[in-house]
Amino acid sequence: MRVYVGCSGFFYRDWVGVFYPPILKREDYIRFYSKYFEVVEINASFYAFPNRGNVKSMLSRTSSLRFAFKANRIFTHARSYSQEDVKKFLYSLEPVFNEDRFIALLFQFPESFGYGEASLEHLKRLAEDFRGIQKVVEVRNKSFKKQDFYQFLEELGFSLVNTDAPKGKGFLVGPWVGIGGINYLRFHGRNEEKLYDYLYSMEELKKLRDRVKKLGNRDTYVFFNNTPRAQAVLNALQFKLLFGIKTEFPQSLQNALKQREWE
């Protein structure tokens, strides 16, 4: 199992002074991030189609970083897209494909998207419209927790996203099943009061590591989405160490750790 660990996004203002040095220019954030991580998940593409020029610029700032992109909400929430939308979205990501630095396209559905004929037909349509591209699906409605669905996804060529999240917040936690060509995991934290604002303890991370190891011998991508105050950065670096991946902690993060309680 080859494991790659990163964060869901790399540009957050409250990471400045905690992860990013205060004097660092905004355009250098991704270069600094790539010193510590090999992979990143881009979530901005959910809200607006990426600008092809911006994607090329992002690629030019780092030679090795690999990217997963979240599919735009028109494909997962509105679910009323056209073939032109597909072409436009894929065209914007073409520079990543061309440089062979693409991981997967993440289709994250809302809790309102439940198991049923209409939902399965929509997934079939996505599988056809995005065929030939590594695709992963995160469903949040607990009605999808069934073996028939996992087999259905695999037959369509999707991988299943396994998640860690607050159990009472409309997430399908786990389901800790390896489906498709890759393992893809998203860790959202466990704060039921303030979603994503959470720091995993080392004991929690060790248990998650053990769950990940049971998903099967596929290339495995883990993204921490507990982004407030760079908590995702710390946990992602710790998780790398738990898998025996050589890493180091930036001085800015070490300084922040001295000034506040993290656990």
pLDDT digits (tens, 9 = 90+) for 165-217: 998 778 999 999 999 999 999 999 999 999 999 999 999 999 999 999 999 99
Q: Which stretches does DSSP call E strand in 17-167?
A: 39-42, 66-70, 102-108, 135-138, 158-164
pLDDT at 263: 44
pLDDT at 36: 96
d(CA 177, CA 73): 25
Instruction: Please give the single-letter amino acid code of residue 159.
Output: S
**pLDDT of 262 over the 70 cut:** no
Residue 150: pLDDT band by 50, 70, 90 thresholds? very high
In this prediction, residues 110-124 reach a mean pLDDT of 97
* CA geometry: angle 125, 128, 129, nearest 5 deg: 85
CATH at residue 144: 3.20.20.410
d(CA 180, CA 148): 14
Helices (H), 10-65: 29-33, 52-60
Q: In this structure, are residues 76 and 108 in contact, taking their beta carbons and an 8 Å threshold? A: yes
**Who contacts 56 (Cβ-Cβ below 8 Å, separation ≥6)?**
95
Q: Which tokens go with 5?
A: 């660990």
**pLDDT of 261 over the 70 cut:** no
**Structure confidence by residue, pLDDT tens digits, 207-251:** 999 999 999 999 999 999 999 999 999 999 999 999 999 998 888
Residue written as token pair 């073409």: 94
Residue 257: pLDDT band by 50, 70, 90 thresholds? low
Domain enclosing residue 235, as ranges:
3-259
**pLDDT of 51 over the 80 cut:** yes
- Look over the chain and give the mean of its residue pLDDT values, rounded to a whole number: 94
Q: Which tokens go with 55?
A: 């994607």
**How many structural domains compose the chain?**
1
In this prediction, residues 123-145 reach a mean pLDDT of 97
User: Lowest-pLDDT range, 5-14, 140-149, 228-237, 252-261?
Assistant: 252-261
In this prediction, residues 3-18 reach a mean pLDDT of 96
- State the virtual CA torsion across 26, 28, 29, 34 in degrees, nearest 10: 170
In this prediction, residues 64-72 reach a mean pLDDT of 97
Q: Which tokens go with 218?
A: 């596929």
Q: In this structure, are residues 65 and 38 in contact, taking their beta carbons and an 8 Å threshold? A: yes
d(CA 150, CA 98): 31
d(CA 50, CA 181): 25
pLDDT at 259: 52
